[in-house]
Amino acid sequence: MFRVAAVSTLALSIALPAFAEEVNLFSSRHYDTDYAIFEAFTEATGITVNLIEASGDELVARIEAEGVNSPADVFWTVDAGRLHMAVARDLFQPVQSAVLEERVPADMRHPDGLFFGVTTRARVIYYNVENGRPENVNTYEDLADPDLGLTVCLRTSSNIYNLSLMAEMIKVHGEEGAEEWARGFLDNLARRPQGGDTDQIRGVAAGECDLAVANSYYWGRLQTSQNPADREAAARVLPIFPNQDDRGTHVNISGMGVLANAPNPENAVALIEFMTSPTVQSILADQNNEWPVVEDVTVTGPMRDWADFTRSDTNKAVYGSNQAAAISVWDRVGFP
């Protein structure tokens, strides 16, 4: 059994009812399959999952406002850059778990055990199949080449996905090198940034731009959409996984951390461990067209044919620690 509650910014002081064995999960994810997983966790452990759903920003605001009185045990959100919001506010407590250290690769978890990756996604380059794979596009750096001869679509630089990508570029090239890359990228834009990641992929399919940068799972969603136009758009584009001959493709996570004032910390760790079990990992990845964080887990969804690529091993905590610098770099070049 699990319980679901919605939260708004007007309900910050509402406390959850007490149960003998429970864990209070604050999640910005909204997938029906998650509910079945929580039911399975309760059946396996006897621990009731109290699920509170809202945006990541709303949940962080509530946890911070409630302080020591917060009922939150676990915070689950997408992108390490968003997890950094909780890290920066000292909302997480360090976790030591031999199970998690064995299952979750070191680069997919915070160095101090403040959060752990649960699923992964890649930020890749898309091209129009009809035009063929461009021979001169193999890296993120190629997108800034003044001789690229191709146009690129990207959503706004303030989006968390692009902040995390820039955070890694800063780690790789330093701020000056990353700024030079951003200027070159700006010069190759097909249009002023607009819309979300799906809109960038649609832009390539429609011929509005030659290339686009977007997260991998958006392409998977288009492939499985009930809308024929979405499936047609997905069929017109294919991904390029950048930097396969050097550092690997930029990847990000959805991740969980145990809150500093968690009333049920042991149950919280048990839930995160359950989420990294092989069966659950497979379900989580397939339901959102992602990949597991745990190695050698079977993927059966649309992304199964794209699971074998070289991933960057940059620790995902860097996306948060370099976030302020990333904002500054994008702003200095005037990237919309």
Does 206 share its domain with 163?
A: yes
**Residue 291, helix vs strand vs coil:** strand
234 & 130 share domain: yes
| Total structural domains within the chain | 2
Residues counted in the chain: 336
For residue 4, pLDDT beyond 60: no
Are 151 and 210 spatial neighbours (Cβ–Cβ below 8 Å)? Answer: yes
**SS3 for 289?**
coil
pLDDT at 146: 97
**165 in Cβ contact with 203 (< 8 Å):** no
Q: What was the pLDDT predicted at 301?
A: 82
Beta bridge partners, 291, equal: 120
**Average predicted confidence (pLDDT) for the chain:** 93
Looking at residue 29, what is its pLDDT?
Answer: 87
Residue 138: predicted pLDDT:
98
Residue 308 confidence (pLDDT) above 80: yes
Write down the pLDDT at residue 263: 98
Tens of pLDDT, residues 11-42: 323 334 444 599 999 999 888 889 999 999 99
Expressed as residue numbers, the domain containing 76 is 2-120+254-307
* Residue 314 resides in a domain: no
pLDDT at 238 over 50: yes
Question: Which of the residue ranges 62-76, 257-271, 277-291 would you say has the lowest mean pLDDT?
Answer: 277-291
Q: Which of 159, 113, 148, 52 is nearest to 256 (CA)?
A: 113
Instruction: State the amino acid at position 297 in one-letter form.
Output: V
Which residue is associated with the tokens 């250290």?
Answer: 101
Q: What is the band of 122 on the pLDDT scale with cuts at 50, 70, 90? A: very high
Q: How far apart are the first and last CA of the chain?
A: 46
- From 32, 15, 122, 127, select the one nearest 72 (Cα to Cα): 15
What is the average pLDDT across 151-164? 98
Is the domain of 91 the same as that of 202? no
Which CATH number belongs to the domain containing residue 55 in this structure? Answer: 3.40.190.10
Indicate whether 160 and 275 sit together in one domain. no
Strand partners for 258: 74
pTM: 0.92
Instruction: Check whether residue 216 and residue 100 sit in a common domain.
Output: no
pLDDT in tens, 176-195: 999 999 999 999 999 999 99
Same domain, 150 and 235: yes
The amino acid sitting at 193 is P
Average pLDDT over residues 125-133: 98
Among the ranges given (73-87, 155-169, 231-245, 292-306), the one the predictor scored with the smallest mean pLDDT: 292-306
State the Cα angle at 126 between 124 and 127, rounded to 5°: 155
Query: Does residue 315 fall inside a structural domain?
Result: no
Claim to verify: residue 97 and residue 160 sit in the same structural domain? no
Q: Is residue 64 included in any domain, yes or no? A: yes
Q: Are residue 204 and residue 277 in the same domain, yes or no?
A: no
Q: Is residue 233 part of a domain?
A: yes
Q: Look up residue 132 and give its two tokens.
A: 């063929």
Q: Which two tokens stand for residue 181?
A: 């890359």
Cβ-based neighbour number of residue 56 at 10 Å:
21
Q: Within this chain, do residues 152 and 231 fall inside the same structural domain, yes or no?
A: yes
| pLDDT interval class at 77 (50, 70, 90) | very high
The per-residue pLDDT for 3 is 55
CA dist 125 to 198, 236, 306, Å? 13, 14, 13
Q: What is the dihedral of CA 4, 301, 307, 110, to 10 degrees?
A: 0
- Residue 268: count of CB within 10 angstroms of its CB: 25
pLDDT band at 302, cuts 50/70/90? Answer: confident
Supply the pLDDT for residue 84. 97
Q: In this model, does residue 8 exceed pLDDT 70?
A: no
- The residue with greater pLDDT, 4 or 318, is 318
- Pick from 175, 169, 212, 164: nearest CA to 190: 212
For a pLDDT cut of 70, what percent of the chain falls above it? 94
